[in-house]
Amino acid sequence: MARLIWKKTDSPDDDVAFDLGETPLVVGRDPKCGVFINAPLLSREHARIDFRDGAHFVVDLDSTNFTKVNGERITEKALESGDLVHFSRAVCVYEA
């Protein structure tokens, strides 16, 4: 199963993994989000992870501090295993 791993600190022991399926999940600092990341500068509803055509896509929800994939600012992008996804300053790794 695909996962999004929040690299909370430099220690792998602090990593937080979120399983991704076919149901869309909102990424944000609101505890109601399916991918809850309590980090400064993250919007309450920052982005969404969608599944379509056999792939996961990250979609920025007009966040204040942007979403980037591998350093490139995006509005929407298909994810590939190993991609680094930045939600503001929060760093995640996508594993498929």
- Supply the pTM of this predicted model: 0.94
User: What pLDDT score was predicted for residue 9?
Assistant: 87
Give per-residue pLDDT as tens, 43-87.
Answer: 999 999 999 999 999 999 999 999 999 999 999 999 999 999 999
pLDDT at position 40 over 90: no
Q: How confident is the model at residue 10 (pLDDT cuts 50, 70, 90)?
A: confident
How far is the C-alpha of 93 from the C-alpha of 18, rounded, in Å? 10
Task: Please provide the average confidence, as pLDDT, over all residues in the chain.
Answer: 96
Rounded to whole angstroms, what are the CA distances from 59 to 33, 50, 76, 91? 14, 8, 4, 16
